[in-house]
Structure 1
């Protein structure tokens, strides 16, 4: 799924637990119903044998855990240690908790949590855009009758341009092209004061 060049949307409408949560990470966009659950935990199996067999099995399970962590890390940007701790705790998440942990991109049917803008590979939540808009990031229409679909599209395009320009200026100062992870990190820093 991850290698598919087209769009792929994962919709979690029930329970994405254990291996199902790993599969969900492969979607280019991951949506979750507000009534759904996601659960992550350590790899497990049954083993028999002497202490050497148990040691080998323990090593095998730790390797499987690392593979699972790699899938979560690509999606969430979290550290290995943080993800391992969540797996150790057998973490169950509501849709709201999953979006807070960056495990999903949107909560289905809930506009307040939907990601509505993308700049390059960075997705911005609606609440961030609203805060920027309310702090003067957009030129507000003179009256509400001016607020139509075309005006909103124009406001969005201006916002995207401002963010791209800001990122380009930062990159030129650093004289290097950021990786997608660095771009995401730069955007996080840019909006820290908006929270």
Structure 2
């Protein structure tokens, strides 16, 4: 049984969540996510196996963001989750919600959804020294946020900080192209595929997986070309290429045998 976490409404700390609940406003807090992750009520077995710890987890996101540190708590919990985490960006994953999204092992995005990233902000008050101090705090927060994007996309942090400074809105295609998402949802996987043949025709789901695999391989190849050749020893570069070839081969086998990529590796 797959567990489901809903990131809907504002992302707030646990105390503020009580305020939202009182007025019936949608919100998500770290304790609410923890409750789902720790919920074993769906167990039908009384054994002491650790299978429940490896249970699949789906995270549905449609949120304008919220508290940076509450989002950091949620991100950390999802990254520490033992099972596979699939994130589905259904609407807007903005600001802090985009950070939570980066915790997924696999990130899907609806063709009509967007990811918005920007620099953190606050409402400071005080003298010039106070404002300088606040600015240094915000710069540190921006670097922490960019670290989550960097871990997922592989982009340079300086480039990510510039995207954040520009308040960048990413369409589904942009998100996949830059590595913020792995796949666009509903990419004809469920499309009716009438067949009149005596041979086996690959399903659309396998075709789409292959297209995503080819895209990832091409992106990794371009990234290696842009690296400074003087800083990379030939033997290390050769080993990297061999590792990527092995990963590509294993991924192809996973698609053919309808297994997920983790099992293949």
TM-score normalised according to structure 1 size: 0.61
Measured in 2, the distance between the counterparts of 1:100 and 1:79 equals 15
- Counterpart selection for 1:174 from 230, 233, 236: 236
Measured in 1, the distance between the counterparts of 2:171 and 2:237 equals 41
Measured in 2, the distance between the counterparts of 1:52 and 1:175 equals 49
Partner of 2:184: 107
Asked if residue 26 in structure 1 is aligned to residue 103 in structure 2, the reply is yes
Partner of 1:59: 136
Question: Tell me, what secondary structure is at the counterpart of 1:81?
Answer: helix
Partner of 1:47: 124
TM-score normalised according to structure 2 size: 0.45
Gaps of 5+ in 2: 1-77, 190-196, 218-233, 249-265
Partner of 1:71: 148
Question: Tell me, what secondary structure is at the counterpart of 1:13?
Answer: strand
Structure 1 residues 174 and 101, CA, compared in 2 at 3 Å: closer, same or farther? closer
Alignment of 1:1-40 (within 5 A): 1-40=78-117
Measured in 1, the distance between the counterparts of 2:178 and 2:188 equals 18
Measured in 1, the distance between the counterparts of 2:137 and 2:149 equals 19
Gaps of 5+ in 1: 113-143, 164-171, 189-195
Question: Greater relative contact order (Cα 8 A, min sep 6): structure 1 or 2?
Answer: 1
Moved over 2 A (4+): 144-149, 172-178
What is the deviation of 1:83?
0.2
Measured in 2, the distance between the counterparts of 1:18 and 1:58 equals 18
Partner of 1:121: none
Q: Aligned-residue CA RMSD in angstroms?
A: 3.3
